[in-house]
Amino acid sequence: MLDVLDEDDEVIHVVDKPIDVGSVKGIIDWERRFDHMQQHTGQHVLSAVFHSKFALPTVSFHLGSDVCTIDVRGREPTQEILESAMAAANDVVYTDRAVSVKYGTADELAAAGVRKTVERGGTLRAIEIESLELQPCGGTHVQRTGQIGMIFVRGASRIRQDWRVEFACGRRAERLAREDFATLRAVAQRLNCSPQEAVSAAERVVTERDANFKSARASLQKLAEMEARAYLPKVEVGADGLRVVTKLFEGEPPEYVQSFAREVAQAENTVALLVRSECGQIFFSQHPTAKEDMNALLTEALKYVEGKGGGSRDSARGRLADPQRAAEFLTIATAALRPKL
């Protein structure tokens, strides 16, 4: 069986091949069914706790193949709220409360204190968890909360106007907790610390990385500026009074090329037309005294070599669709800048 659909008053079973007309014998995949019973009943418990203790009503539920989610509406469920909700939900599990089925009309269930009202008519089915909640539901559930095993809340994230809480119950919770700890232990081994010290050790590594990155970026910028100043005298001023620096870069990071272009453009009557050959990144810059238009130049050159980009009169950035045409693009851009030469 591929799927089960509830359409109007009919339940439709979707199968993978035609079957003969007549009686059909169905066999329940008990392991899968019991897993769904654990997840679904655990969702009832968790939703009831979020609603009663934190005024966070559940607006949707998704039973996934690995993890389950509920979307709750209201204030942000902080880590403290998530841990408190998980503890309260597991208290319900450990006290092994009865889970029973009740029937009644919407009015009768409302009078009995149902958590979420429904607008469907006729006799409705509701699930009651002892001393916790009464909720209309047509799904499968365990007989007592102890059969849920445990409820494991992994975290929450913003989903439009709501908060999506990720959780798992029973064997899923056991498996996820084991996998999460294995990941934590592997990270701790890489950081040469205990799992309990992993967070503080990671924070130190990130702090050191950021400091090193900042220092390296500053050094890279200084190197680009020095090499740009050394490169400028090698480029002659043309008959049109412009010094046009054209250069293909290979292997240098974008920060280096950008600093190179910016330094070149510090010189009067100078234009920089630079491209990174490995990725086709384009950097056009000029000193205002050059009186050209870098954005217009980029637009014109991209008519002949496919790419995209834009910018201002003095600075423009872009990227070629095919980096292998970088040299050709530079030739076209230079010709467009000096049509009379």
Q: What six digits make up the tokens of 253? A: 């990071």
Q: Comparing C-alpha atoms, which of 182, 257, 205, 248 is closest to residue 227?
A: 257
What CATH code would you report for 30-173?
A: 3.30.980.10
What integer is the mean pLDDT of 95-114?
91
First to last CA, the chain: 75
SS3 143: coil
Do 224-337 and 30-173 have the same topology in CATH? no
Instruction: Supply the mean pLDDT for the chain.
Output: 93
- 155 burial type by CB count under 10 A (0-12 exposed, 13-18 middle, 19+ buried): exposed
**Residue 339 pLDDT exceeds 90:** no
| Domain spans of the chain, in order of start | 30-173, 224-337
Per-residue pLDDT tens over the stretch 68-81: 999 999 999 999 99
**Residue 119 pLDDT exceeds 90:** no
**Residue 259 pLDDT exceeds 90:** yes
Do the Cβ atoms of 97 and 119 come closer than 8 Å? no
**Residue 241 pLDDT exceeds 80:** yes
- Residue 24 pLDDT level (bands cut at 50, 70, 90): confident
- Residue 340 pLDDT level (bands cut at 50, 70, 90): low
Per-residue pLDDT tens over the stretch 267-325: 999 999 999 999 999 999 999 999 999 999 999 999 999 999 999 999 999 999 999 99
Q: What is the pLDDT of residue 165?
A: 98
Cα-flanking dihedrals φ and ψ of residue 63, to 5°?
Answer: -100, 100
- Residue 13 pLDDT level (bands cut at 50, 70, 90): confident
With a CB cutoff of 8 Å and minimum separation 6, the contacts of 260 are 224, 225, 227, 228, 247, 249, 252, 272, 274, 283
pTM assigned to the model? 0.68
Q: What is the pLDDT of residue 47?
A: 97
CATH topology of domain 224-337: Diaminopimelate Epimerase; Chain A, domain 1 (3.10.310)
